A and B are shown apart, each in its own frame.
Chain A
Amino acid sequence: GESVGLHLPTLSVQEGDNSIINCAYSNSASDYFIWYKQESGKGPQFIIDIRSNMDKRQGQRVTVLLNKTVKHLSLQIAATQPGDSAVYFCAENTDFGNEKLTFGTGTRLTIIP
């Protein structure tokens, strides 16, 4: 399944399938990006990050892709599990040195058993 972030804030995916969550960022000068996962009643949890000098970074079951040309960020989750159900936020650093992160609106991912 695939979301387009701002225009489709919810995404439902069958357990075991791959998920793609998209994010359009606003500032072409942003040089650092983070994906966070937030479960109900909890604080955001760091998933993976990427600097603007890279276009891909992989973690455990997750991959972040960065396309600076179109200011687009995506999070791919492989073989989704029920525990992946959460709201996912992308965040961009728009003021490097002061560590100010600006968050996107978020996408709710629901895993269907």
Chain B
Amino acid sequence: DTEVTQTPKHLVMGMTNKKSLKCEQHMGHRAMYWYKQKAKKPPELMFVYSYEKLSINESVPSRFSPECPNSSLLNLHLHALQPEDSALYLCASSRLARSYNEQFFGPGTRLTVL
């Protein structure tokens, strides 16, 4: 299995809702990532988990809460989002090796906040 899967594919939520995005990989990768991508812009890093521990938080607002239950799963819990949070949310994983440590991306969740 050489892919990163994300669910749901699309999500519409109100500003008072609580929802979660899910990401899964079965490549044995020990680093997992959340990115946010606005239209016609490059992906922007939000969080990095290394060996199931949060290693990077790019000053993301607390209304986004990541969770890494095990080495294969990554969640992003959403609460009290704003319309400007509407974007494509991408999950990625990598081996955490010291050479050629490419990140593999999932297809993304298209989030719309009303």
Kindly state whether residue A100 has any CB partner on chain B within 8 Å: yes
Which residues on the A side are within 8 Å of B7 (C-beta)?
Answer: none
Residues in A87-113 with C-beta less than 8 Å from chain B: 89, 98-106
Q: A45-B105, A103-B42 are in contact. List 19 more A-B contacts (CB 8 A).
A: A32-B100, A32-B101, A34-B103, A36-B105, A43-B92, A43-B106, A44-B43, A44-B105, A46-B104, A49-B100, A98-B50, A99-B31, A99-B50, A99-B96, A99-B103, A101-B45, A104-B42, A105-B41, A106-B40
A-B contact count, CB below 8 Å?
A: 55
Kindly state whether residue B21 has any CB partner on chain A within 8 Å: no
Quote the shortest CB–CB distance from A40 to chain B (angstroms).
11
What is the number of residues of chain B that contact chain A, defined by CB distance less than 8 Å? 27
Which A residues are closer than 8 A to B by beta carbons? 32, 34, 36, 42-46, 49, 51, 89, 98-106
Given A34-B102, A99-B50, A99-B94, residue A42 in contact with residue B108 (CB < 8 A):
yes
Bound form: Cα–Cα A46–B90 in Å: 14
Given A43-B106, A46-B104, residue A100 in contact with residue B43 (CB < 8 A):
no
Quote the shortest CB–CB distance from A97 to chain B (angstroms).
9
Bound form: Cα–Cα A100–B34 in Å: 11
Closest to B110 in A: A41
Closest to B91 in A: A43
